Chain A
Amino acid sequence: MSVLFDILASAGLWAAILRIATPLIFGTLGALLCERAGVLNLGIEGIMTFGAMIGWLSVYHGADLWTGLLVAAIAGGIFGVLHSVLTVTLGLSQHVAGLGVTLFASSFSYYVFRLIVPVAGTPPTIMPFQPIDVPVLSSLPFLGPALFTQTAPTYLAIVVALVMAYIIFRTPVGLAIGMTGENPHAAEAQGVDPMKVRYGAVIAGSALMAVGGAFLTLSAFNSFFPTMVQGRGWICIALVVFASWRPGRALFGALLFAFFDAFQLRLQTAVEGVPYQIFLMTPYILSIAALAVMARRARVPQALMQPYRRGER
């Protein structure tokens, strides 16, 4: 038991939680925004991969880190347009279209990466975002290193979560998004164009996903390698259900998830005799468990996965 306590009492664990949570916060918020407007975006895994690749590549070619994030966001938005054309304009199966976007975006990422960066023994690196020591707060005992020595995008993620909660629950835009996700016909009767709302939500959501991916290469690590997203996108899709489509709970869910992930990482080295693969499985098992617990309780947007065609029921 003392092993568990030692892990919980280390500031390193709590600092790692926010770091691990950041890409999940961006990704979950992005997926949540799409789904609130009625579009399931399974392109997330590929879009995160592309964001990670193009963000890193921009910085590798001399752009500064914030430009790298911006390039990733724009690229994510372009994939959002692709997903919207398929699922909103053409009204195709959101499951299959999303998987298609993921397969295309990830293989395209690897293609571009391999084209520009030839195979090398050690992958080239960039100078990633450095931790910001928040004055005064970072010198607090325990809390300081845990919460106030993160890199800038982590703070940005938390701000985005709060802003999105405000937009969804307190603004006319949020109302239009919610109506489109619940009942696009009623939304149209109220003068809202469901097509435009869905396009907007999917583009903005995909941009957030790509930023989440870019965090991996620009802050958490300093290089890009294939399969580095490791199913984080799918975990985000599960977290949206866990969060019951609410941004605040998405933030909480991502942090809770990151807590377990950071904990198992440290447990791996502390506990001997258990194959490390068992620990690596836990994030995926937890995601499935979270889905099983929450799926019935969560309030699904009523028009999720239903294409909208004017004048057609």
Chain B
Amino acid sequence: MRLERREHRPLWLMVGAPVLAIIAALALSGILIAIAGAPVFEAYRRILIGAFGSRLSATETLTRATPLMLTGLAAAVAFRARLWNIGAEGQFYLGAIAVAAFGSKLLAGLSGPILVPLLLVIGAMAGMVLILIPLWLRLRFSVDEVVTSLLMNFIAVLFVSMLIDGVLKDPMAFGWPQSQPVADHAMLPKLIARSRLHIGLVIAVVLAVVVYLIQSRTVFGMQSRAAGLNPQGAVFAGVPLGRTLVKVACLSGGLAGLAGAIEVMGVKGYVTTDLSPGFGYAGIVVAMLANLNPIGVVFAALFTAIMFVGADGMSRSLGIPTYIADVTVALSLLTMLVALFFTQYRIRR
């Protein structure tokens, strides 16, 4: 038996790969659910009910999918240029705390229609700043940005923890370390009344389309793809590699920072150090499940959100730890990698 490179990739395989990967991941997690002594199909049925069963749970799933779309896009644009930005978690927190810093007192005098877009830009810029450090280290000292951007996550969360325990601490929070709330008129409008679903979902979906258009229709999009496919070749063809990577990093970090800003302005209103249940890391999975396609990211984020929200309800009724959602999502990354491999190779005897 040996592996042979396919001469062309059949379309059904490209489209089917994520579906097969998710089915495989669900089957493998099913084994874990069975070992725990719960009925597997009943567990998955309850996950679906938990995610869609009522108006409340459906809006909750969409609310959860919003930051995942943005962190997924952040990873997708970076990975396409082979910029390994694993720091979306830290960029998310920096975007969140920037919004809390400027939106609670400093700029609260501005009127809503000016304040809201301004805060979103500030959040995005905070995320950009954080990814530019690992990128600078890579371009200047040839340091692998995977490890540095990962380590930045820990620094960013500690930095946020310092601020919400210090200058930005909410004195009304009974001593809990949490930031001062952003002004009421800085909050994003609700999409559906009496739910947590906010306009951020629309922003995320629109941005997915924008990123798709940038990647497929602009010179920068072409250059960033070239930088990922073959850096030496790209330089040879006249692509300014450093400048392209800086732009990619700004786009990626900006999206992750925006995710944090939107989560604060759309849902919480303030920042704590458990604002993100790993949105940054889950974004990597979302991007891979989408095969780095920005439109695919929207659907991959939905799948991930269904697992997380649905597992909460399933866990309450069947007693399976909610971590099963994290396991399934992580497994789907691994199965997706294997599925993608078989779109490129086939087994020959």
> In this complex, which of B79, B154, B281, B331 has the most chain A Cβ atoms within 10 angstroms of its Cβ?
B154
User: Residue of A at shortest CB range from B137?
Assistant: A292
With beta carbons under 8 angstroms apart, the residue of A95, A235, A275, A292 that contacts B146 is A95
> In this complex, which of B86, B141, B327 has the most chain A Cβ atoms within 10 angstroms of its Cβ?
B327
Range of interface residues on chain A?
Answer: 35 or more
Q: Does B323 contact A (CB under 8 A)?
A: yes
What is the 8 Å Cβ interface bit string for chain A, positions 72-101, against chain B (1 contact, 0 not)? Answer: 000000000010001000101101110111
Those of A146-202 within 8 Å (CB) of chain B = none
Q: Does B158 lie within 8 Å of A280, measured CB to CB?
A: yes
The smallest C-beta distance from B33 to any residue of chain A, in angstroms, reads 10
Q: Does A92 lie within 8 Å of B137, measured CB to CB?
A: no
Q: Does B241 contact A (CB under 8 A)?
A: no
Those of B266-305 within 8 Å (CB) of chain A = 281, 284-285, 288
What is the 8 Å Cβ interface bit string for chain A, positions 44-76, against chain B (1 contact, 0 not)? Answer: 000000000000000000000000000000000
Q: Does B84 lie within 8 Å of A86, measured CB to CB?
A: no
What is the 8 Å Cβ interface bit string for chain A, positions 92-127, against chain B (1 contact, 0 not)? Answer: 110111011101100110110011000000000000
User: Residue of B at shortest CB range from A312?
Assistant: B5
Q: Does B142 lie within 8 Å of A99, measured CB to CB?
A: no
Q: Does A306 contact B (CB under 8 A)?
A: no
With beta carbons under 8 angstroms apart, the residue of A90, A110, A280, A309 that contacts B338 is A90
User: Residue of B at shortest CB range from A235?
Assistant: B151
Q: Does B170 contact A (CB under 8 A)?
A: no
Q: Does B151 lie within 8 Å of A288, measured CB to CB?
A: yes
Q: Does A285 lie within 8 Å of B84, measured CB to CB?
A: no
Q: Does B142 lie within 8 Å of A296, measured CB to CB?
A: yes
Cα–Cα, bound, A267→B333 (Å): 42
Q: Does B19 contact A (CB under 8 A)?
A: no
CB-CB under 8 A from A104, the residues of chain B are: 327, 330-331, 333-334
User: Residue of A at shortest CB range from B331?
Assistant: A104
CB-CB under 8 A from A281, the residues of chain B are: 154-155, 158-159
CB-CB under 8 A from B159, the residues of chain A are: 277, 281
Q: Does A277 lie within 8 Å of B281, measured CB to CB?
A: no
CB-CB under 8 A from A241, the residues of chain B are: 144
Q: Does B326 lie within 8 Å of A111, measured CB to CB?
A: yes
Q: Does B330 lie within 8 Å of A103, measured CB to CB?
A: yes
What is the 8 Å Cβ interface bit string for chain A, positions 266-293, against chain B (1 contact, 0 not)? Answer: 0000000001011011001101100110
Cα–Cα, bound, A92→B155 (Å): 30
Q: Does B147 lie within 8 Å of A234, measured CB to CB?
A: yes
User: Residue of A at shortest CB range from B5?
Assistant: A312
Q: Is the interface of A mostly helix, strand, loop or mixed?
A: helix
Q: Does B199 contact A (CB under 8 A)?
A: no
Q: Does A114 lie within 8 Å of B141, measured CB to CB?
A: no
The smallest C-beta distance from A98 to any residue of chain B, in angstroms, reads 9
CB-CB under 8 A from B79, the residues of chain A are: 96
Q: Does B161 contact A (CB under 8 A)?
A: yes
Those of A229-285 within 8 Å (CB) of chain B = 230-231, 234-235, 237-238, 241, 275, 277-278, 280-281, 284-285
With beta carbons under 8 angstroms apart, the residue of A82, A231, A277 that contacts B165 is A277
User: Residue of B at shortest CB range from A105?
Assistant: B330
CB-CB under 8 A from B330, the residues of chain A are: 100, 103-104, 107-108
CB-CB under 8 A from A288, the residues of chain B are: 137, 143, 148, 151-152
The smallest C-beta distance from A27 to any residue of chain B, in angstroms, reads 13
Q: Please give me the 3 A-B residue pairs with the lowest Cβ-Cβ distance, nearest first.
A: A107-B326, A114-B321, A103-B330
16 contacts between A and B (CB under 8 A): A82-B334, A86-B338, A90-B341, A92-B338, A100-B334, A101-B334, A107-B323, A107-B327, A108-B327, A111-B327, A115-B321, A230-B154, A231-B151, A277-B161, A281-B159, A285-B155
